[in-house]
Structures are given as structure tokens and as C-alpha cells.
Amino acid sequence: MLRTLFLTMLTLALAKSQETEETITYTQCTDGYEWDPVRQQCKDIDECDIVPDACKGGMKCVNHYGGYLCLPKTAQIIVNNEQPQQETPAPSETVAASGGGLSAAGMAASGVVPGGGFIASAAAVAGPEMQTGRNNFVIRRNPADPQRISSSPPHRIQCAAGYEQSEHNVCQDIDECTAGTHNCRADQLCVNLRGSFTCQCHPGYQSRGEQCVDIDECTITPYCHQRCVNTPGSFYCQCSPGFQLAANNYTCVDINECDASNQCAQQCYNILGSFICQCNQGYELSSDRLNCEDIDECRTSSYLCQYQCVNEPGKFSCMCPQGYQVMRSRTCQDINECETTNECREDEMCWNYHGGFRCYPRNPCQDPYVLTSENRCVCPVSSAVCRELPQSIVYKYMSIRSDRSVPSDIFQIQATTIYANTINTFRIKSGNENGEFYLRQTSPVSAMLVLVKPLSGPREYIVDLEMLTVNSIGTFRTSSVLRLTIIVGPFAF
């Protein structure tokens, strides 16, 4: 029964070995094989390496094409590719095969190995001798007697091309790549195979005829995020300015130049792939787009300040002349020195004008006039000299800005006493030698002083405005004078 089972297993193994010779297309392999992308063909799976406890009962696992065998640990595996000398068999249980056939006195399983030999998986061998033929294999199990084992010298076996006998009396693969017995070119890579070897191009190269040429990875697949640089056998990624490679060496991430190396003189703003510099108020970017230069606001416009513009780093300020103060940062306002500080004496009164002040006597009357009220001088009728003089002189003061637009009404004169049946006429008695003024009568009792020429200061004008009063029958005639002091300021503000 056991021998029948052995024959069945051997037949199946031989059938599988024949299946491996069939052409396998694409990457689909039969059971016991897997696709080798290097050789572009199916290769045997070493079940003894990947199947835990493949053999039970103290048996050892021996891999073969398309499967594996379980053998006693004392079994010897002999592979022979040539016709050996006939040996006298000893009484024993032997297992032998020739050209794919099998005769057995025990139990075994077998499979085909590269080179045309066989591997036996198990046998019960009674003696140390065996009979072999071309492509024969014999499996022998040594007896438990250690003296008998030591008395049996090891047999020398012949292995297929690409294999050599190991110290365990088993054919093992020769690594031609390590031994240096391959014939691969200097531009090729030797890859060891079972029983042979193959020559391949190095990674990054492809075979073209009998040469290995560089693969331009940059034209095949967009590996890189931004820029790809091909090199012999490889490639590397580069990023555009303002970006840097991430840890994966192909993705580009933005560089925050404002944090890494801020080159801006004042303000830095990071943008994707770059940065921009900006300046604080009062500055502008220089030609290098990094530094900031002060803006001379005073040159950009002549209307920033009412009087004088003073440029400062990042800003400007306005100044006013003496006698003025800056208002609302840009305009100039006259300082009323008469309210703050002045040098007028006690018998003088302070009169403020645009840009300064003046001291005038509190009693401006001159003989024969006497002071009757503030700024009003009257000539007494009892005095003979007063008959030819104006009855009264009133002192008034006013200030106007330089270069005032003309014509312009600047002062109104009006009678304080009105008599019945009288006629009033007005005229400029003195102080208008250059014709800067004109007196226009606006009513029977009033007149307006008009500026008809622009005046430039600082300058003082004293203009006498006279009002003549005559009754309708010509029996009464009198006059009064308003002495107007006009101070023209030095500026137009």
C-alpha cells in the first residue's frame, strides 16, 4: 500500500515537472511558481522557506520544482547526470529511477531538478551500496549504527551545470556573480539565478541593443513637483526660486523669506514663491526693492504748509514765521502778543496786527486837541485856531494781510451825530498819494473805504478820512476826521 502511494506521488511530481516546461504567458504562473519580474518568467517557490513546519514527524523538508519533499533526516540525496560504473548491490531496500521511471522497494517521492537529474524525497535503504544509471537517483538512509555510518565513505556526486556538491553531499547553486565567473560587461549588473545567471542594466538604465543607455526619468513620469533634472542612471528634483524641497525630495514647499532671511529694511510680506517689501508711511522703496528711502514731502507739493515745510525722516512738519503759531499741523495763526506778552509802557496801548504788535500812546491828541474819550480828540470851540481845523479827530487802527485781493472793502466810516437839513460828504484827506484806496459813499451818513491796489508788508499806512457836514442853506459847515492806521502784515496769512 505504501509503495503504491509512493508511485502515485512520484507520478504527480513528474507531471508537475513537465508542466514547468510549458510556455507561461503574462504574469500568471501554475501552482508552486511565482512570477519573476527580473527574468520575466515564472520561478519556483521555496515552500520549505515560507511554510512553517512543512514536514512532520521529524522529517526534513527538501524543496523541488513545483513542490517539496519530506525526507528522513538521515536520508542522502544523490544526483547523477552521467553513466556510472556498476556496483554490486547489497541486500537492502533501494529506490532508483532512470529517465523519469521509478522502481522502489520502499517508499519515496521525487521531482525533476535543473540539469536533468532527480531528487528523491524519502527511501528506506538497507545497505550502503546502490545501483545508478544515466539520470538516475538513489536515496539511501543510513542505519542507526554509528559504526556502520563511519565505515561508509561519502559518495562523490555529479551535479548539473551551474551547481556544485556541498559539504552535505547535496548539489547547490553556484553564485557566478560572487565567484566572478560571469561575462557581464562593466556597464551591466550580474544577477544570480538558480543554476545560471543573467546580465542586466544598472538601475536607471535600459538595454538598447547591446548597450545600456540612460533612462531619462524626467520625460517618462512627472516625478517632480516643479523641475526634474536627469542624471546618468538617476534624476533629482529642483524647485523654483522661493521654494525648497520637502522631506520626500520631490514636493516643493514655499520658503517664508520673511522668517528665514528677512532682507527688507522695514516691512516684509511673504507671498507664494517670493516676498515683497513695503515701507512705513513717509518712506518709499528704493530701486533695489529692499531698502526704503525717505520721501521728501516738501518737494512733492508746495501746498502742504502755509508758510514753510520742513522734511524729516519719514515725515514732515510745518513751521510758521515769528509772530505766528502752527494750527492744525499746517496752517499759521497770528499770535496776539497783546494778550500774552508785550513791551508796551503803561501810557501806551498794545495793538496787535498780523505777525506782530505795536505800542501806541493812550492819548494820541495833539495841541490844541484834547482827549474827550478813548481815541477821540476834540478841538475846543473857544480856541481861535480850532475854527480852521476839523472839529474832532478819531484814531482807529486796523491790520490787513499782505497781498490782499482787490478791490476789497476794508473799512466803513459813519457819522455819529446826524443834524437835520444837512448834507454829508466823504473824502480821503491824506495818506492816499499812490492811489491805493478809494472812498465810496454808501449812504447820506456813511462811506466805505475800498482797497484798489494790493499792498505788501510789513508796512504802515495812515489815512485821514474826512466827513464834511453843510446845512442846506449854507450857514453851517463843519468837519471831522477819522485817522485810520492800516498795518499791512508781512505775509498773506
What is the tens place of the pLDDT at every residue in 255-292?
A: 999 998 899 999 999 999 999 999 999 999 999 999 99
Determine if the peptide bond prior to 368 is cis (ω within 30°): yes
pLDDT given for residue 367 in this prediction: 92
What percent of the chain is modeled with pLDDT above 70? 78
pLDDT given for residue 473 in this prediction: 74
Q: Which CATH number does 297-334 carry?
A: 2.10.25
User: pLDDT at residue 115 above 50?
Assistant: no
59-73, 202-216, 228-242: least confidently modelled range:
59-73
Q: How far apart are CA 419 and CA 410, in angstroms?
A: 27
Q: What is the DSSP string of 225-289?
A: SSEEEEETTEEEEE--TTEEE-TTSS-EEE--HHHH----SSEEEEETTEEEEE--TTEEE-TTS
Q: How far apart are CA 293 and CA 181, in angstroms?
A: 76
Q: Which residue has the cell 551547481?
A: 163
Is residue 333 a contact partner of residue 325, using CB atoms and an 8 Å limit? Answer: yes
Amino acid at 1: M
Q: CATH 2.10.25.10 residue ranges in the chain?
A: 217-254, 258-294
Q: Which residue has the cell 509772530?
A: 323
- Residue 162's nearest CA partner among 110, 118, 114, 99 is 114
pLDDT given for residue 435 in this prediction: 95
The mean pLDDT value for 236-246 works out to 94
Q: What topology is assigned to 258-294 in CATH?
A: Laminin (2.10.25)
- Between the alpha carbon of residue 247 and those of residues 60, 225, 237, 252, 300, the distances in Å are 49, 13, 12, 9, 52
Is residue 110 a contact partner of residue 118, using CB atoms and an 8 Å limit? Answer: yes
pLDDT given for residue 116 in this prediction: 38
pLDDT given for residue 39 in this prediction: 80
Q: Which CATH number does 365-488 carry?
A: 2.60.40.60
Please, what is the Cα angle at 367 between 353 and 363, to 5 degrees? 35
Q: CATH 2.60.40.60 residue ranges in the chain?
A: 365-488
47-56, 72-81, 147-156, 416-425: least confidently modelled range:
147-156
The mean pLDDT value for 66-95 works out to 57
User: pLDDT at residue 117 above 90?
Assistant: no
* Grid coordinates given for 345: 509802557
Q: What topology is assigned to 217-254 in CATH?
A: Laminin (2.10.25)
pLDDT given for residue 49 in this prediction: 87
Within a 13 Å sphere around the CA of 327, how many CA atoms are in the beta-carbon half?
9
Burial of 408-440, coded b for 16+ CB within 10 Å and e otherwise, reads: eebbebebeeeeeebebebebbebbeeebbebe
* Grid coordinates given for 267: 516691512
Q: What is the number of H-type helices and E-type strands within the chain?
A: 7, 39
Q: Report the SS3 class of residue 177.
A: helix
User: pLDDT at residue 150 above 70?
Assistant: no
Q: Report the SS3 class of residue 160.
A: coil
User: pLDDT at residue 370 above 50?
Assistant: yes
What percent of the chain is modeled with pLDDT above 90? 54
User: pLDDT at residue 431 above 50?
Assistant: yes
CATH of 163-203 given 2.10.25, 2.60.40, 2.40.160, 1.10.10: 2.10.25
The whole-chain average pLDDT of the chain stands at 80
User: pLDDT at residue 95 above 80?
Assistant: no
- Residue 265's nearest CA partner among 242, 288, 247, 246 is 288
- Residue 66's nearest CA partner among 88, 96, 38, 34 is 34
